Amino acid sequence: MKFSLVGDIGGTNARLALWRGQGLEAVQVLQTADFPEPVQAVRAYLQEQNLLVEDLEKVCLACAGPVQGDEFHFTNNHWRLSRSAFAQELDLKRLLLINDFAAMALGMTRLQQGEWIDVCKGEAELDRPRLVIGPGTGLGVASLVPKLDGGWIVLPGEGGHVSLPIGSSREAALWEVLHRHIGHVEAESVLCGKGLLRLYQAICELDRFTPHLQTPADVTTAALAGDTCAAGALGQFCVWLGRVAGDSALTLGARGGVYLAGGMLPRFADFLMTSGFLQGFHDKGQMTAYVEGIPVQLVTAKYPGLEGACVALELDMDT
Instruction: Name residues whose C-beta falls within 8 Å of residue 4's C-beta, 6 or more positions apart in sequence.
Output: 18, 19, 20, 56, 57, 58, 59, 60, 313
**Contact criterion met (CB below 8 Å) for 7 and 16:** yes
**Contact criterion met (CB below 8 Å) for 246 and 119:** no
With residues binned 3-state (H G I as helix, E B as strand, rest as coil), the percentages for the chain, rounded to 5, are: 45, 25, 30
Q: Within 10 A of 215 (CB to CB), how many other CB atoms are there? A: 12
11 is in an annotated binding site: yes
- 72: closest CA among 82, 64, 62? 82
Q: Within 10 A of 283 (CB to CB), how many other CB atoms are there? A: 18
195 is in an annotated binding site: no
166 is in an annotated binding site: no
**Contact criterion met (CB below 8 Å) for 190 and 198:** yes
Neighbour-count burial for 35-47, b at 16+ CB within 10 Å, e otherwise: bebbbebbebbbe
Backbone angles phi, psi at 99, to 5 degrees: -60, 140
Question: Helices (DSSP H) in 119-227: which residue ranges?
Answer: 169-182, 193-207, 216-224
- Evaluated on CA atoms 135, 125, 118, 294, the torsion sign reads positive
- 233: closest CA among 180, 262, 288, 276? 276
288 is in an annotated binding site: no
Residues 74, 312: Cα–Cα separation, whole Å: 19
> Binding site membership: which residues?
7-12
| Bind-site residues for ATP | 7-12
